[in-house]
Chains A and B, each alone.
Chain A
Amino acid sequence: MHELHHPAPPSYLGMTAQELTQDILQVHESPGRQFWTVAAILGGLFGLGIIGFILLLAEGFDDRNVWGYYATTFAYIFIISQSAVLVSVALRMAKAHWRRPLARISELFAVVGLFNFFLLIPLLWVLPVTDGRRSIWFNWPGHSPHLWDTIGLGLLVVCGLALLFFASIPDMAAVRDHASGARQNIYRRMAMEWTGLPHQWRKLNVGLSLLGGFYFMLLVVVHMLISVDFAMSLVPGWKDSIFPAFHAIIGFQAAVAIIIVTMFILRWKTGLRKYLEVDQFWSLSKLLLALSLLWFYFWWSGFFTYWYGRQPAEQSILKFLMFETYKVPFALSFLLSFIMPFIILMWNIIRKTIWGPTLAAGIVLVGTFFNAMRFYVPAYSIEDSSLHAIEVAPPFNAPGVADILVIVGGLAGAVLAYMLATRIFPIISMWEMKEGLLLQRVRRFMKIQIKVLAKPE
């Protein structure tokens, strides 16, 4: 069995910098008719979402139960989009060469984050004040979660957009140099007089490192804010110190999954096949496997401590969220976020294909939705958050027509935002690919061809 049979070095290493630039720009400039058709369909679905939203608005903000699935949609998009930006940041910190084709793919999710920020606004009206119930704000003046969560998420969105923008500057310059007329004007402004001088590169690298580090820390904090303020603190008796970390891990897992799926779609529908090869899928699949295992570990830590302690309040939480009222979403999320990805990705031979990681990633994305659903829908179905513990569990809140419309519309809007962003920013980061061309060589070593990776430090 040739499990150590190494995949061939990436085919783009044979290209020159000019060829690479031309190739990517060509895809960027003419996406094809199918692109606009899909965008139009998504626009229509987003319109349906708005109708659903208006139906929810008609019911008012007093009954939180109505907004459960809206909150789920918001949380789902937040989990995926904001963590997706982190994949580029983290891999850049780890200096992995295989991340180069997916850097921009990951950073573009910051635009989806912006779209998601607007979804937050109605939820601020639904969220009750902290008086009389538990919260991490410890009875600070009434606006605490509303104010700080908005600031936190806003700051995160701005930071993500800044990352996307600054990481794209050299590519804006490349587009500027190949464009003409009004388009050239726009890109000239966005490229901010970039000429590729050494001091400009140095500043860019330092800036991206600092922004990246800041983004990482802020993302984890905002995960805590959203998960605690919008879910945990609404459920009486739910004191779970691992939940913010668990929420973040779900985010990381979903982030890797969405990037795998995006890469698959790009391979299928665009001329960018040669950049997104088995190496990218293989490396991300290892991350996805590790994160699926971590999903289980974090879930287990929480479940186990509750199960072992036999405290009545915590036993009620277990029954409510996992084993009685919401057992179907829980079972689905357990199956789709852990068991199936684990079984699929356990085998190296499957990890080294294109379809294997994509299948697992698709399953994980569905599982993440059920994860979001099993936290936020129950949280919003609780009438009185100031109780000490759940005495009578509210019934399962099945989605209505408005809820389905909102979910479909929200997801469609997110995908549409991403697609429109790719019209502005080239989806493959040209400057990082060209840097890769410089730093990677293929040469003969004794009787084999081997890749050589430079380690400039």
Chain B
Amino acid sequence: MQERVRLTDVQINRDLLRSIFETPKWYFLLVGCLGLVVLVGFAAAGYMINRGLGVTGLNRPVFWGFFITNFVFWIGISHAGVMLSAILRLVQAEWRRPATRAAEVLTVFSLMTAMTMPLIHAGRPWRVMYWVFPYDFARGVYPNVRSALVWDPAAVFTYLTSSILFVYIALVPDIAVLRDRTTGWRHVLYSVLSLGWRGSVRQWKLQLIAGILLSAIILPIFVSVHSIVSWDFGSAMSVEGWHSTVFAPYFVIGAVHSGVSAVVTVMIILRWMFKWENYIRMEHIDALAKLLIVVATGWFFFFALEFIFGLYSLEGPEIALREMQVFQMPWKALFITFLLTAYVIPVSMWLVPKVRRNIPLMVFTTILVNIGMWIERFIIIVPGLARKQPFTFTWGGYTPSLVEIIIITATFALVSMLVLLFAKVFPLIPIGDAKEGMILHDEIKIGKVMVPAVMREE
């Protein structure tokens, strides 16, 4: 099925810069509403810092609840950027072209948002400084490099810096396009940011190398970040269900699952908002859905490993935990919901080719996945803590408070708002990539049929 339309550079420039040069009315309304939600979230956080963490539902023994779930969730979403951008770049998959920048930008903003979670969770956020920086205070206590909570900032900071630099260096040719099409202060801004890009052979060659080299370096970072986050839990001994060797790859593949689903959601929304039907085509969504099937099944295997081996040693406390997760309400409802939404429903739908090419159903299934993955993190974190102590009279429960719910909602609004603001300043689909895709597109005549083809240098 011939889906693509041959577009000239002028058309590509106009289409992909549309989000920057033309602002539909609903844009301001949407950003305004999201901004309002973010402000309310900040207010709630401020209220919590003023009143103390008692306004949340956290209490002994459940000291980690919604905030940490949200933290792990957003770190998870951030993994999509590298998965799509780096891995697909390294295997030279053509269908990566429209997705890379949106995914990388989602990564940067979700990482930033994720970092706010432990920050406000500290209760007195300014004290986090003592925890992260090797600053010798009078007490002579340095951050304990043997703690997973210290590796976290190291890893997330490395990932954030690398992602920002990666986005920027790949953005330089596109900023040059903007430089050539603006005047006034915007022209000056884009000129400075484009570093004098001219499009010479040398510069393009180094762009290509940058893409591959940085992808190869960022991939190990990507694997390590979520592994380190998983070791926040995996290195704990006293909490049931946490001391499991599989946590690192389990969390990483779960992150890829939820992250890629989020990117699909974002791409479909962008396609609709900015009328990018010629760039984000059904073949891209189809390919992403097939990738998701494989990733989701891999994730499910790791989930099964974690569950089976949790019970493997048949120790009392672990059995108590699993009984709570699977058989007691409300956890039973959450567990069933999570399995259905994170795996059963989406994957069985994605196996049907018509579903993969149906926009509303793809939005539905990918949002469902993220609902399920959020619940998954919640189910890993809270029941273990609730059943932490060996004496049953110290067992506890957890009910999220309004403050937590507001703040969590505000994080979703924050990421969406930041992505929309980014779209106003820089193109969300790489222009150079789109143009290159047009050049490399070809056709082969086989018998009576013209088959779409791609030119490949090696």
Are A and B bound to each other?
yes
> Given that A293-B220, A441-B444, A455-B452 are contacting pairs, would A4 and B246 also be in contact in the complex, using a CB cutoff of 8 Å?
no
Closest to A451 in B: B456
Q: Is the CB of B247 within 8 A of A301?
A: yes
Contacting residues, chain B, for A302 (C-beta < 8 A): 245
A6: Cβ under 8 A from any B Cβ: yes
> Given that A134-B314, A242-B305, A245-B302 are contacting pairs, would A301 and B248 also be in contact in the complex, using a CB cutoff of 8 Å?
yes
A308 to B1, CA, bound (A): 55
Contacting residues, chain B, for A241 (C-beta < 8 A): 244-246, 305-306, 308-310, 312
B432: Cβ under 8 A from any A Cβ: no
A403 to chain B, nearest CB (A): 30
A279 to B208, CA, bound (A): 20
Q: Is the CB of B209 within 8 A of A4?
A: yes
Most buried by B among A240, A297, A451, A455: A455
B29: Cβ under 8 A from any A Cβ: no
Contacting residues, chain B, for A239 (C-beta < 8 A): 309, 312-313
* Residues of chain B in range 414-458 having any CB-CB distance to chain A below 8 Å: 442, 444, 446, 451-458
Report A303-347 CB contacts with B as 1/0, cut-off 8 Å: 011101111000000000000000000000000000000000000
* Residues of chain B in range 79-134 having any CB-CB distance to chain A below 8 Å: 90-91, 94
B18: Cβ under 8 A from any A Cβ: no
Give residues in A with beta carbon < 8 Å to B. 4, 6-7, 93-94, 134-136, 138, 217, 220, 224, 239-245, 279, 286, 293, 297-298, 301-302, 304-306, 308-311, 438-439, 441, 445, 450-457
* Residues of chain B in range 5-45 having any CB-CB distance to chain A below 8 Å: none
B249: Cβ under 8 A from any A Cβ: yes
A385 to chain B, nearest CB (A): 13
Q: Is the CB of A454 within 8 A of B451?
A: yes
B56: Cβ under 8 A from any A Cβ: no
B324: Cβ under 8 A from any A Cβ: no
Contacting residues, chain B, for A136 (C-beta < 8 A): 308-309, 312
Given contacts A439-B451, A439-B453, A457-B1, could you give 15 more A-B pairs where the C-beta distance is less than 8 Å? A4-B208, A93-B294, A134-B313, A217-B297, A240-B309, A241-B309, A242-B245, A305-B235, A309-B235, A445-B455, A450-B456, A453-B454, A455-B94, A455-B452, A457-B452
Contacting residues, chain B, for A93 (C-beta < 8 A): 294
Q: Is the CB of B457 within 8 A of A305?
A: no
A248 to chain B, nearest CB (A): 9
Q: How large is the interface on B (under 10, 10 to 19, 20 to 34, 35 or more residues)?
A: 35 or more
Contacting residues, chain A, for B444 (C-beta < 8 A): 439, 441, 452, 454
Q: Is the CB of A453 within 8 A of B453?
A: yes
Most buried by A among B245, B301, B455: B245
Closest to B306 in A: A241
B311: Cβ under 8 A from any A Cβ: yes
A194 to B293, CA, bound (A): 33
Q: Please name the 3 residue pairs, one residue from A and one from B, whose CB atoms are nearest each other, closest first.
A: A241-B309, A241-B246, A6-B458
User: Using a Cβ cutoff of 8 Å, how many contacts connect chains A and B?
Assistant: 120
Give residues in B with beta carbon < 8 Å to A. 1, 90-91, 94, 205, 208-209, 220, 223, 227, 231, 234-235, 237, 243-249, 283, 294, 297, 301-302, 305-306, 308-314, 442, 444, 446, 451-458
Contacting residues, chain B, for A293 (C-beta < 8 A): 220
Contacting residues, chain A, for B294 (C-beta < 8 A): 93
Q: Is the CB of B446 within 8 A of A438?
A: yes
Q: Is the CB of A305 within 8 A of B249?
A: no
A152 to chain B, nearest CB (A): 15
A451 to B248, CA, bound (A): 40
Q: Is the CB of B244 within 8 A of A452?
A: no
Q: Is the CB of B456 within 8 A of A245?
A: no
Closest to B293 in A: A213
B388 to chain A, nearest CB (A): 15
Q: Is the CB of B453 within 8 A of A452?
A: yes
Q: Is the CB of A242 within 8 A of B446?
A: no
A219 to B312, CA, bound (A): 21
Contacting residues, chain A, for B231 (C-beta < 8 A): 304-305, 308
Q: Is the CB of B244 within 8 A of A305?
A: yes
16 intermolecular pairs with C-beta atoms under 8 Å apart: A4-B457, A94-B91, A241-B245, A241-B305, A245-B301, A245-B302, A305-B231, A305-B235, A305-B244, A439-B444, A439-B446, A441-B444, A451-B457, A452-B453, A453-B454, A454-B451
Contacting residues, chain A, for B306 (C-beta < 8 A): 241
Contacting residues, chain B, for A279 (C-beta < 8 A): 458
B405 to chain A, nearest CB (A): 33
A4 to B457, CA, bound (A): 9
A400 to chain B, nearest CB (A): 33
Contacting residues, chain A, for B91 (C-beta < 8 A): 94
B263 to chain A, nearest CB (A): 20
Contacting residues, chain A, for B311 (C-beta < 8 A): 138
Q: Is the CB of A455 within 8 A of B454?
A: yes
> Given that A240-B245, A452-B454 are contacting pairs, would A301 and B227 also be in contact in the complex, using a CB cutoff of 8 Å?
yes
Contacting residues, chain A, for B243 (C-beta < 8 A): 305, 309, 311
Closest to B235 in A: A308
Contacting residues, chain B, for A244 (C-beta < 8 A): 305
For A301, give its contact among B246, B301, B310 (CB under 8 Å): B246
Q: Is the CB of B312 within 8 A of A452?
A: no
Contacting residues, chain A, for B94 (C-beta < 8 A): 455
Closest to A286 in B: B90
A93 to B453, CA, bound (A): 18
B222 to chain A, nearest CB (A): 12
B419 to chain A, nearest CB (A): 30
A328 to chain B, nearest CB (A): 23
Contacting residues, chain A, for B312 (C-beta < 8 A): 134-136, 239, 241
A454 to B444, CA, bound (A): 7
Contacting residues, chain B, for A306 (C-beta < 8 A): 245
Contacting residues, chain A, for B442 (C-beta < 8 A): 452
A453 to B311, CA, bound (A): 50
Closest to A98 in B: B458
